[in-house]
Amino acid sequence: MSEVQNASEYMLEVKNLKQYFPVNTGFFHSTMLKAVDNVSFSIKKGETLGLVGESGCGKTTVGRSILQLYKPTAGEVWFDGEKIESKESIKMLHKRAQMVFQDPYSSLNPRLTVADIVAEPIDVHKLCATKKERNDRILELLSIVGLSSEQATRYPHEFSGGQRQRVGIARALASNPEFIVCDEPVSALDVSIQAQVINMLEELQEKLGLTYLFIAHDLSVVKHISNRIAVMYLGNMVELADANELHHNPLHPYTISLLSAVPIPDPQKARASKRIVLSGDVPSPLKVPSGCPFRTRCTRATEECACCKPEFKEVSPGHFVACHNL
């Protein structure tokens, strides 16, 4: 893919990533579920790449495969110019890259205090030599995410959803990472709390020089925090462009449909805008359509779309699309 250029310029490069899972379909029979199919992209240092798409399209699987929580079926992951394949490189990755999980209720161990939860990466990577140094680091991390020292001895059930997500972010920051996968970090929170968490993530990025892969299904949230946005459908990357370019000049019919569903605060503009409702349901990843995976719901679909899969190619500087009919 032509987007991948100078290794030193990028924090992360993903090349032809595939993640297939075997699913039992009967006695001694299994079918491969193609959760992620041939996805390629790169993220520059200090940048935020938003990854959007409807539920079940493979966004979270991409994030987990990058961090080697799932061993990729095929493809390459390069982190800061180093290919991730050996045990040493995976250990390096787990120290320098972290994840903020979607559900703040299930991602924290209910039997541990907040202090012990935040300290887990510190203990695993042996980052503090003394107990005092460890305690000081825990209190520093809690302060960074807006929690007080008194809350360190409490348990997760004593916190609200927004506070729990702050604990999850503090844990992610504990190993001094350079790259964080934010897996729908605000989707389980109230709208007012969402804004607080998003603003905090932006402040942390500026202060600590972090690089983000921000996974979400809410395009308005993604536009607010992202430099560039990638759109996924049924395990495939269908469009990738600068955030403003994607909003003002979407090219793939799926992206156009997603953007038409974003609420518009101006009543007059909202009445004038046309909502594009897709026909049919998302096909099962066990039975992906031949050719273009989006063709069964696309108004532009032709015979070419049914017989061959469109190439994910650059149609203008920095704007990549997978579509035959542009």
CATH number for 306? 3.40.50.300
Q: What is the pLDDT of residue 69?
A: 94
Query: Residue 258 is part of which domain span?
Result: 7-109+176-321
Domain count, the chain: 1
Q: Is residue 158 part of a domain?
A: no
Q: Residues in the chain with pLDDT < 50?
A: 1-7
Gap between the Cα atoms of 66 and 14, Å rounded: 8
Sheet containing strand 319-321, edge to edge, reads 97-100, 179-183, 211-215, 48-52, 228-233, 236-242, 319-321, 313-316
- Which of 97, 96, 100 lies closest to 164, judged by CA? 100
Q: What is the pLDDT of residue 7?
A: 46
Q: Is residue 207 part of a domain?
A: yes
Q: Is 225 helix (H, G, I), strand (E, B) or coil?
A: helix
- Which of 79, 89, 149, 155 lies closest to 117, judged by CA? 155
CA-based diameter of the chain, in Å? 68
Q: Is residue 147 part of a domain?
A: no
Q: Is residue 200 part of a domain?
A: yes
Instruction: Give me 117's structure tokens.
Output: 């939860």
Q: Exposed, middle or buried by CB within 10 Å (0-12, 13-18, 19+), for 59?
A: buried
Q: Is residue 130 part of a domain?
A: no
Q: Is residue 303 part of a domain?
A: yes
57-116 tens-digit pLDDT? 999 999 999 999 999 999 999 999 999 999 999 999 999 999 999 888 889 999 999 999
Q: Is residue 326 part of a domain?
A: no
Cα 100 to Cα 68, 104, 119, 137, distances in angstroms: 15, 9, 15, 19
Determine contact, residues 165/198, Cβ cutoff 8 Å.
Answer: no
Q: What is the pLDDT of residue 2?
A: 43
- Which of 224, 208, 239 lies closest to 320, judged by CA? 239
